């Protein structure tokens, strides 16, 4: 009987080991890489006057706001991105609209309602984990031209995007060629010499590589032009 039992035990052990060491799926590995641990505090909140310069934007209902540590700022590349923040079995979604100077790595300075949705504000500071997630926004993304823009100076930002914006390019020949704008730390993309035209096409690329083209954007300070859609 023992001679028969040993092969069976070996098979069972092999199956158990396979189950334990089975590789994670691509989605599981992506989540594991994205997950960040840090602390969260809260402050009064500032969308229009925040470091992301969203002077024309109002957060949609149900979406909280947060400031992100300057250690994670990455030249404003995370502005407009959304994060799923978890603590004590609760999770909220917040958009990055401001910077938290001097905060530690992976630190979030939440708007008051965001913090209260996770824990009692009297605690002041809590441990959290968070991941970047698509923003639960409706409607198309928009291009907002900075005050003072002319055909001789280009400065624009992306507002209401489904994902973080990685790149902005401009074309004055209907897409035959593109010029890459330079990102600033205050969340605008600029071309110091301008584009030399009264209107242009603007192509924006998300951090996942999807693109949206907004045609015939006026080179006028304060102009706002909606795209035909949003990042996939």
Q: Give dist(CA 44, CA 51) in Å, integer.
A: 14
Instruction: Reply yes or no on whether the pLDDT at 10 is more than 50.
Output: no
In 160-231, beta strands by DSSP E: 165-171, 179-180, 182-183, 189-191, 199-206, 211-218, 224-226
What is the model's pLDDT at position 34?
A: 63
Q: Give dist(CA 146, CA 222) in Å, integer.
A: 5
Backbone φ, ψ for residue 182 (5° rounding) = -95, 130
Instruction: Reply yes or no on whether the pLDDT at 11 is more than 80.
Output: no
Instruction: Reply yes or no on whether the pLDDT at 175 is more than 60.
Output: yes
Which is it for strands 64-69 and 90-100: parallel, antiparallel or unpaired? parallel
Backbone φ, ψ for residue 126 (5° rounding) = -140, 160
**SS3 call for 15:** helix
Percent composition of the chain: helix, strand, coil (DSSP 3-state, to 5): 20, 35, 45
pLDDT tens digits, 29-76: 344 456 899 999 999 999 999 999 999 999 999 999 999 999 999 999
Instruction: Reply yes or no on whether the pLDDT at 203 is more than 70.
Output: yes
Please, are residues 157 and 201 in contact by the beta-carbon 8 Å criterion? no
> Which pTM does this prediction carry?
0.84
Q: Taking residues 188-203, what's their average pLDDT?
A: 98
DSSP states of 106-142 as a string? T-EEE-HHHHHHHS-GGG--EEEEEEEE-----S--E
DSSP states of 153-166 as a string? BEEEEEES-SS-EE
Domains and CATH numbers, the chain: 30-133 (2.40.40.10), 142-226 (2.60.40.760)
What is the model's pLDDT at position 35?
A: 86
Instruction: Reply yes or no on whether the pLDDT at 198 is more than 90.
Output: yes
Q: Taking residues 176-193, what's their average pLDDT?
A: 98
């Amino acid at each position: 009987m023992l001679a028969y039992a040993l092969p069976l035990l070996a098979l069972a052990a092999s199956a158990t080991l396979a189950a334990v060491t089975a590789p994670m799926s691509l989605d599981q590995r992506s989540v594991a890489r994205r997950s960040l641990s840090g602390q969260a505090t809260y402050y009064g909140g500032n969308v229009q006057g925040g470091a992301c310069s969203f002077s024309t934007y109002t957060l949609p209902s149900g979406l909280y706001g947060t400031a992100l540590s300057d250690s994670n700022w990455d030249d404003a590349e995370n502005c407009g991105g959304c994060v799923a923040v978890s603590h004590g079995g609760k999770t909220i979604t917040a958009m990055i609209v401001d910077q938290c100077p001097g905060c530690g790595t992976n630190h979030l300075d939440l708007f008051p309602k965001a913090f209260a949705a996770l824990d009692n504000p009297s605690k002041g500071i809590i441990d959290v984990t968070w991941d970047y997630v698509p923003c639960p926004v409706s409607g198309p993304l928009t291009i907002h031209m900075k005050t003072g823009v002319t055909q001789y100076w280009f400065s624009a930002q992306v507002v209401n995007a489904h994902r973080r914006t990685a790149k902005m390019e401009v074309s004055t020949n209907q897409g035959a060629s593109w010029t890459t704008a330079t990102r600033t730390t205050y969340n605008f993309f600029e071309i110091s010499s301008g584009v030399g035209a009264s209107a242009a096409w603007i192509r924006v690329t998300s951090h996942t590589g999807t693109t949206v083209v907004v045609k015939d954007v006026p080179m006028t300070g304060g102009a706002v032009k909606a795209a035909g859609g949003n990042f996939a």
